């Protein structure tokens, strides 16, 4: 039944997670690209403003140029752009890729700039006035950076120089922080979704699981159980009403079968008692006729067998009422063993016992009757010289009594309906014995299970609550 909950979880969870991850991917890519474009656009505007502040006379390369007032004024203006707009560095090149000014002082005036991260084709595009940017990379400080190359075009349309601006680390830190927050947000969404879907799956599947357990208990013969969800005005409520109706029909059918069994047993019992009495009277009057005596013995045996069948029907027809009294488990089992011992001795059965000491609240006569029936079934199943072991264990407030035999075992197909009335694999008997045993055990708030394999014997386990 757990598979229902798992299937519901998968049906709701997988598409939802897929949608969330898809949204995360597109939002992440879109936002990142948008922020990056905004950054480049901002740096480009800063660079274009700076270019307008650079005169052609300041674009010079010669040994003493950094000592001139022109160079110093240019450096001061570009430093202002760098500091005011949070740019990492500004570098000015001429058209021959030689450094005019580097605010970081890594390159001196006149040095060839060998760290340009755009290819020759992109550099040629600068001559056409196109602004270029580098790819996102980590600089020597292991920090994400991006460079923007802005061409400086002369009046004649020729390339006079290039202004290189290094993107501020803070912008990229903002992008990375945004990505981390986005990931955290979507992970939180997935976790919340898992809990919500699990709750939803439980809400849908739990009633089905509970009703399934009710049906299982009805199938095991329990009729005094509460059917939940009958008041719900949905499919679950309709299912609960159908289960209740089914249980009522089964109870009515069972009551009808019991009444019919009682009627048949009553009709047979009266003439059977008369026949038995007449046979016993005739037996007393016949003295020396051995053949007649043997015939009478055979007839009496058959009458006794019929009487046992009638008693089974009568017992099945009567509703079992138990009166709970305190009793020792070992005493009840001892009485059951004593009653069946003659049958075990006839087949030379080896009996072993290991009974724990515990006190039960039980109807000792009915419980003994159930144990006798179980032991008799074991006696019928084992061959001459076979073995029967009766043992008990205490665990979690319950005593488990095991009746294990070395008999021929029960076919697998018969195990599924072994507690059904009138079902038996033997040539004699009514098939009511285990039905009555199960009813007695359940009246004591216990349960009975049978494990068997053909050729390996059978184990009947009775679980009952005991007093600590």
Quickly tell me which residue has 């019929």 as its tokens.
306
| Ordered DSSP codes for 200-234 | HHHHHHHHHHHHHHHHHHHHTT--S---TTTT-SS
- State the Cα angle at 188 between 184 and 194, rounded to 5°: 145
Give the pair of three-digit tokens for residue 10: 């998968």
Q: What is the DSSP letter of 68?
A: S
As a whole number of angstroms, the distance between CA 160 and CA 19 comes to 52
Over its C-alpha atoms, the chain yields an Rg (Å, rounded) of 48
Instruction: Kindly tell me the burial class for residue 244, based on how many C-beta atoms sit within 10 Å of its own C-beta (0-12, 13-18, 19 or more).
Output: middle
Quickly tell me which residue has 């199960």 as its tokens.
438
Query: What's the pLDDT at 348?
Result: 93
Count helices and strands (H / E) in the chain: 10, 14
Quickly tell me which residue has 């600068």 as its tokens.
126
Q: What is the DSSP letter of 280?
A: H
**Alpha carbon 317 to chain centroid, angstroms:** 44
Quickly tell me which residue has 């058209």 as its tokens.
95
As a whole number of angstroms, the distance between CA 465 and CA 401 comes to 11
Give the pair of three-digit tokens for residue 372: 């006798």
Specify the 3-state DSSP secondary structure of 138: strand
As a whole number of angstroms, the distance between CA 397 and CA 394 comes to 7
pTM for this predicted structure: 0.48
Give the pair of three-digit tokens for residue 255: 């009551």
Phi, psi of 391 (to 5 degrees): -140, 165
User: 394 pairs with which residues across the strands?
Assistant: 399
Quickly tell me which residue has 């927050």 as its tokens.
181
Q: How big is the chain, counted in residues?
A: 468
Q: Which of 424, 354, 414 is nearest to 389 (CA)?
A: 354
Taking residue 36's Cβ as centre, other Cβ atoms within 10 Å add up to 17
Please state at what angle helix 290-317 crosses helix 235-285, rounded to 10 degrees: 160
Give the pair of three-digit tokens for residue 262: 């009682």
In a structure prediction context, what are the per-residue pLDDT tens digits for the chain, which is 468 residues long? 456 667 777 777 788 778 777 777 776 677 667 777 777 888 888 888 999 989 888 989 998 999 999 999 999 999 999 888 888 889 999 988 899 999 988 889 999 887 776 777 777 778 777 888 776 666 666 666 778 889 998 888 888 889 998 875 555 566 667 667 777 877 888 788 788 877 877 777 788 888 888 888 777 667 777 788 778 888 888 888 888 888 888 777 777 776 766 667 666 777 777 777 777 777 777 766 677 777 877 787 777 777 777 776 666 666 678 888 999 999 999 999 999 999 999 999 999 999 988 999 999 999 999 999 999 999 999 999 999 999 999 998 899 999 999 998 888 888 878 887 766 666 566 667 788 899 899 889 899 999 998 888 999 999 999 876
HSE, CB side, 13 Å, CA atoms: give it for residue 409. Answer: 10
- CB under 8 Å to 257, separation ≥6 — which residues? 421
Asked whether the beta carbons of 139 and 131 are under 8 A apart, the reply is no
Asked whether the beta carbons of 441 and 464 are under 8 A apart, the reply is yes
Q: Can you say whether the dihedral through the CA atoms of 295, 301, 305, 310 is positive or negative? A: positive
């Amino acid at each position: 039944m757990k598979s229902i909950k798992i299937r519901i979880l998968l049906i709701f969870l997988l598409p939802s997670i897929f949608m969330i991850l898809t949204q995360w991917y597109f939002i992440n890519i879109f936002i990142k690209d948008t922020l990056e474009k905004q950054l480049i656009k901002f740096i480009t505007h800063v660079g274009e403003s700076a270019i307008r502040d650079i005169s052609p006379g300041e674009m010079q390369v010669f040994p003493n140029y950094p000592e001139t007032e022109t160079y110093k004024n240019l450096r001061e203006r570009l430093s202002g752009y760098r500091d005011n707009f949070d740019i990492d560095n500004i570098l000015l090149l001429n058209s021959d890729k030689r450094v005019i000014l580097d605010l970081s002082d890594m390159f001196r005036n006149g040095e060839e700039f060998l760290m340009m991260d755009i290819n020759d084709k992109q550099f040629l595009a600068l001559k056409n006035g196109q602004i270029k940017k580098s790819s996102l990379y980590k600089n020597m400080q292991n920090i994400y950076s991006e460079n923007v190359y802005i061409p400086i075009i002369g009046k004649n349309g020729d390339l006079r120089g290039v202004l290189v601006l290094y993107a501020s680390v803070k912008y990229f830190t903002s992008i990375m922080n945004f990505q981390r927050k986005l990931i955290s947000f979507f992970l939180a969404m997935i976790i919340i979704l898992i809990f919500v879907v699990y709750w939803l799956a439980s809400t849908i599947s739990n009633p089905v699981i509970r009703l399934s357990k009710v049906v299982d208990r009805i199938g095991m013969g329990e009729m005094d159980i509460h059917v939940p969800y009958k008041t719900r005005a949905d499919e679950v409520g309709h299912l609960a009403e159908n289960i209740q109706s089914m249980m009522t029909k089964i109870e009515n059918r069972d009551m009808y079968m019991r009444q019919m069994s009682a009627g048949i047993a009553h009709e047979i019992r009266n003439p059977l008692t008369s026949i038995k009495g007449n046979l016993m009277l005739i037996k007393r009057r016949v003295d020396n006729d051995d053949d007649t005596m043997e015939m009478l013995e055979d007839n009496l045996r058959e009458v006794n067998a019929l009487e046992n069948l009638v008693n089974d029907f009568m017992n099945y027809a009567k509703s079992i009422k138990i009166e709970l009294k305190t009793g020792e488990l070992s005493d009840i089992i001892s009485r059951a063993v004593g009653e069946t011992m003659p049958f075990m001795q006839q087949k030379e059965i080896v009996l072993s016992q290991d009974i724990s000491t515990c006190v039960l609240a039980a109807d000792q006569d009915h419980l003994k009757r159930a144990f006798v029936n179980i032991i008799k079934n074991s006696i019928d199943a084992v061959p001459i010289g076979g073995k029967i072991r009766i043992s008990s264990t205490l665990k979690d407030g319950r005593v488990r009594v095991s009746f294990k035999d070395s008999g021929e075992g029960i076919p697998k197909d018969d195990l599924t309906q072994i507690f059904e009335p009138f079902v038996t694999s033997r040539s004699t008997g009514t098939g009511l014995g285990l039905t009555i045993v199960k009813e007695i055990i359940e009246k004591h708030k216990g349960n009975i299970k049978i494990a068997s394999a053909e050729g390996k014997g059978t184990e009947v386990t009775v679980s009952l609550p005991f007093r600590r």
